[in-house]
Amino acid sequence: MKNPPRLSRTARTKAIVPVILCGGSGTRLWPLSREQHPKQFLPLLGAQSLFQDTVRRTTRIDHALGPVVVGAAAQRFMLAGQLHEAQVDDAVLLLEPEARNTAPAIAAAAHFVAEAFGPEALVFVMAADHAIADTDAFVAATAAAAAAAEQGYIVTFGIKPTRPETGYGYVKVRGGGGPAGAQAVDGFVEKPTLERARQFIEQGDHYWNGGLFLFRAGRFLSELRRFDPDTHLRTREALERARRDGGAISLDAEAWHACRNESVDYAVMEKTDRLALVPLDAGWDDVGSWSFLERVPATDGDDNHARGDVLLEDAHRNLVHASGRLVALVGVDDHVVVETGDAVLVMAKDRVQDVRKVVQTLRQRRRAEAEVHQRVYRPWGYYETIAGGERFQVKRISVNPGAQLSLQMHFHRAEHWVVVKGTARVSCGDKSFIVAEDQSTYIPLGNTHRLENPGKVPLELIEVQTGCYLGEDDIVRLSDSYGRVEPVAAPTGGA
């Protein structure tokens, strides 16, 4: 994170600070989206993740500064890694100790922008997990919204409905009364019935609430103080007490916990008389359920939409996503099938909103599939479990160039490492040595050790663990580049 630039008063009135809300869990896209690796970090529509697409989109906005990314503290290194991959080095990470909905998240960001750039600076709030097909139209709508925001309005972007959608909120507009290029807002409607949603389309005066807002930082904060003074105070305290180190601002946990779990719609937008709407016709989609696959071109003449290694025989109108294995459907119509390395989801297309019930059940049963993939991301790279059984486990480990794991030891397991790509620098006990491709080494139980990648390409190795207990809590970090050192204590699980 670079220090915010010092701007003149004239520059501040033109500056637009994108604020990207990145804290969603994406449970309706399970099993691809998991709590520790939610949908915004997945490449669902192309080579880049939804978050990376969002960040890059902001670079097209006139007078845009580096983005402020509001995300979970636990995902700090994932955020930093994806920003690095997207070649964005001027972002500010504003880290939440826990999820507190959109009102506190936006309030903290507005406080930061007002502090760093002045209350006149414009704040453009957007979600990290939405898709925009037409960037030019998005940029044009942003310019219109900025003009209204400079007149003191809080601007929401309304998406013209293309179908009767019951899973979205709606914004009703009225003729006249709004600034040039925008419309006055008459009210909000939350998730209507199918019949009402059809009526909204016929009336033509309702827009989908896309959750995008543009306003002067000072204007929003004054409205927040007027309608929700407690959130205004607590979020300011969370920022004032924040820990600032290098690439991130970690909000104070105590002040943050005291914030109410409230959406910005309820806290401010439905109460203010300074709200205006700018229509957004840019191919917007919130990628909120597996139905989003229906809105990309069909892959065959039977109206199936398939991604990955998929074979279809006498199958029609299906949505199929294969991550790693062949998925074959025979004589199946109107279904959603999603395959990952550790789970397969099969459901009727008209039940896509019920995936969250599966996730709730998995959480109640404390199943790991609710939270993590087989591939688990770490600050240094990732690992994925390949196989396991009684007293053994096999993992594939990938370490980014220049990165290193913590100096650590294990109470209950030994490890064998086989390098398959790149070069490893290994520390084991009082020895340090290089392990090249097609070479291996052994880490005895109880030995302190560290793995580093001194090269310029990713280091990949196969790790075979053996022992009486193989849980991830059997790691004692003695030194760590990422601040993850814990007290030395034996794990609670196993012998």
With a pLDDT cut of 90, the percent of the chain lying above it is 62
**In a shared domain, residues 349 and 430:** no
Strands 68-72 and 327-330 come out as unpaired
CA distance 223 to 273: 9
**In a shared domain, residues 25 and 146:** yes
- Band of the pLDDT at 181, cuts 50, 70, 90? confident
Give a yes or no: residue 3 inside a domain: no
Contact (CB, 8 A) for 12 and 117: yes
Three-class secondary structure of residue 173 per DSSP = strand
Strands 16-21 and 68-72 come out as parallel
pLDDT at 3: 53
**In a shared domain, residues 52 and 109:** yes
Identity of residue 386:
I
Give a yes or no: residue 491 inside a domain: no
pLDDT at 4: 55
Domain that holds residue 350: 304-359
Contact (CB, 8 A) for 277 and 183: yes
Strands 449-452 and 248-250 come out as unpaired
CA distance 437 to 97: 41
DSSP notation for 293-322: GGGS--SSTT--EEESSEEEES-BS-EEEE
**In a shared domain, residues 43 and 156:** yes
- Band of the pLDDT at 488, cuts 50, 70, 90? very low
Give a yes or no: residue 216 inside a domain: yes
Q: Which of 461, 425, 471, 426 is nearest to 444 (CA)?
A: 426
CA distance 99 to 72: 7
Q: Looking at 254, 285, 316, which one is the last position of a domain?
A: 285
Pull the structure tokens for residue 386.
């390949």
Q: In terms of pLDDT, which residue wins out, 415 or 342?
A: 415
Burial group, residue 348, by CB count within 10 angstroms (0-12, 13-18, 19+)? exposed
Contact (CB, 8 A) for 329 and 320: yes
Give a yes or no: residue 493 inside a domain: no
For the cut 90, the answer to whether the pLDDT of residue 162 exceeds it is no
What CATH code is carried by the domain that includes residue 68?
Answer: 3.90.550.10
Contact (CB, 8 A) for 462 and 396: yes
Kindly list the distances between the CA atom of residue 156 and the CA atoms of 202, 268, 376, in Å, as whole numbers in the listed order. Answer: 22, 12, 37
Q: Looking at 314, 335, 359, which one is the last position of a domain?
A: 359
Report the number of distinct structural domains present in the chain: 3
**In a shared domain, residues 316 and 379:** no
Kindly list the distances between the CA atom of residue 265 and the CA atoms of 13, 209, 270, 275, 474, in Å, as whole numbers in the listed order. Answer: 25, 10, 6, 11, 44
**In a shared domain, residues 281 and 318:** no
CA distance 351 to 369: 20
Helix H or strand E segment including 103: helix 102-117
What CATH code is carried by the domain that includes residue 445?
Answer: 2.60.120.10
Contact (CB, 8 A) for 326 and 311: yes
Whole-model pTM: value is 0.85
- Band of the pLDDT at 301, cuts 50, 70, 90? very high
Give a yes or no: residue 487 inside a domain: no
Q: What is the pLDDT of residues 200-251, one digit of tens each?
A: 888 888 889 988 999 999 999 999 999 999 999 999 999 999 999 877 999 9
- Band of the pLDDT at 10, cuts 50, 70, 90? very low
Helix H or strand E segment including 239: helix 229-240
pLDDT at 1: 43
Three-class secondary structure of residue 17 per DSSP = strand
Give a yes or no: residue 94 inside a domain: yes
**In a shared domain, residues 340 and 310:** yes
Helix orientation angle between 229-240 and 102-117, rounded to the nearest 10 degrees: 60
Contact (CB, 8 A) for 453 and 459: yes
Contact (CB, 8 A) for 62 and 78: no
> How far apart, in Å, do the first and last CA atoms of the chain sit?
44
**In a shared domain, residues 106 and 191:** yes
pLDDT at 348: 95
Q: Which of 483, 482, 486 is nearest to 81 (CA)?
A: 482
Contact (CB, 8 A) for 14 and 117: no
Identity of residue 436:
A
Q: What is the pLDDT of residues 364-392, one digit of tens each?
A: 999 988 888 878 888 899 898 888 899 99
Contact (CB, 8 A) for 400 and 424: no
**In a shared domain, residues 200 and 122:** yes
**In a shared domain, residues 196 and 105:** yes
**In a shared domain, residues 194 and 320:** no
Give a yes or no: residue 436 inside a domain: yes
The radius of gyration of the chain's CA atoms, rounded to the nearest angstrom, is 25
CA distance 425 to 141: 52
Residue with tokens 């943050």: 256
**In a shared domain, residues 258 and 388:** no
Strands 424-428 and 381-389 come out as unpaired
Give a yes or no: residue 256 inside a domain: yes
Q: What is the pLDDT of residues 30-80, one digit of tens each?
A: 999 988 888 899 888 888 999 999 999 999 999 999 999 999 988 888 898
